[in-house]
Amino acid sequence: MKDRSTVERALLFIEDNLCSRITLEDIADAANLSQWYFHRLFRVLTGYCVNDYLRRRRLSEASRALLYTAKPIRQIAREYQFESQEAFTRSFSSITKLSPGRFRKQIAPLLVFPAISLDKSYKFLRQGATKMKPRFATKAAFNVIGVFCRSTPSESLHKLWNDFSARVQEIPNILDQSKAYQVCVFEDANPEKEEYTFIAGMEVKDVSTVPEGMLSHKVQEAHYAIFEHKGLLDTLHKTYEYIFAVWLPDSGYQMVDADSLEVYDERFQVGNPESVFEIWVPVKK
């Protein structure tokens, strides 16, 4: 449960710095975790990406300042680290549907977004969780060629895989026709904006020929904890929640800075409740 306690430290750090200029790197450092792992763990345990949570907490406290103080709106915006009064107004209005000025004049209800306690979140995730025991393997560096997109982990990658299905026959020098990979590229990650490059592709012998509009990428050697997701894709989030919020904190392992994989073979069948594919999480003791 060590990782949960580190995220609790990060939550306390956020509360102590709502009126300070802090970055995702600062918050991850407070948790003593890499940005790559921290933002994924934070989302699973809280339901929010780090920047969205920080913004909502600041807006919640700013709403108190609007109602209970006579501070100018510009000053409140500056105190809660918005770039300008205009930026504060846009952000505030997007949630309350009122400008800060109208919110203050109408004495509207407080924008209540309390600080999260992980005790309830952690217990909820553990309740009814199906225990999964991973196997472990070290995979040597290998090359993939495939289609790619820039996305967030919470967005659907349905279009990416549709594009892959339409073009997979164009990929040359495939090593194993029965196995496809989804690669979340570590080196191209932007945890601050929660944006990642995803590749849907095949392992290949060489990358001397890459079809137009596709990408070649070398996945570096890593040691993986390998989990099986069994069932329909609409329950995939539960598997990831178990991995990051239940298994990893209790396992004695930690995620390392390397590409994450999903591996699809002949066991994967869209729409079949007996479908199986693998989630490869790069780890170390």
pLDDT at 128: 53
pLDDT of residue 126: 58
What pLDDT, on a 0 to 100 scale, did the predictor assign at position 120? 56
Fold of 2-106: Arc Repressor Mutant, subunit A (1.10.10)
> pLDDT 10s digit of each residue in the chain, 285 long?
455 678 889 999 999 999 999 999 999 999 988 888 888 888 888 888 999 999 999 999 999 999 999 999 999 999 999 999 999 999 999 998 999 999 998 877 888 899 987 765 555 555 555 688 999 999 999 999 999 999 876 677 889 999 999 999 999 999 999 999 999 999 988 887 778 999 999 999 999 999 999 999 999 999 999 999 999 988 898 898 889 878 887 888 989 999 999 999 999 998 899 999 999 999 999
Q: φ, ψ for residue 3 (rounded to 5)?
A: -65, -35
pTM (two decimals): 0.80
The reply to whether domains 2-106 and 135-284 share a CATH topology is: no
Q: What is the pLDDT of residue 1?
A: 46
Q: In degrees to the nearest 10, what's the CA dihedral of 254, 15, 81, 63?
A: 130
Rounded Cα distance, 237 and 211, in Å = 32
DSSP code per residue over 43-67: HHHHSS-HHHHHHHHHHHHHHHHHH
- CA 195 – CA 95 distance, rounded (Å): 23
Q: How far, in Å, are 13, 19, 123, 249 from residue 7 at the CA level?
A: 10, 20, 15, 11
Identify the pLDDT of residue 119. Answer: 64
How is the chain split into domains, by residue range? Answer: 2-106, 135-284
Class of domain 135-284: alpha beta
User: Shortest CA distance to 46 belongs to which of 111, 106, 115, 138?
Assistant: 115
Tell me the angle at which helices 50-68 and 85-96 cross, rounded to the nearest 10 degrees. 100
Residues 6 or more apart from 191 whose CB is under 8 A from it?
A: 24, 28, 35, 36, 38, 39, 50
pLDDT at 154: 66
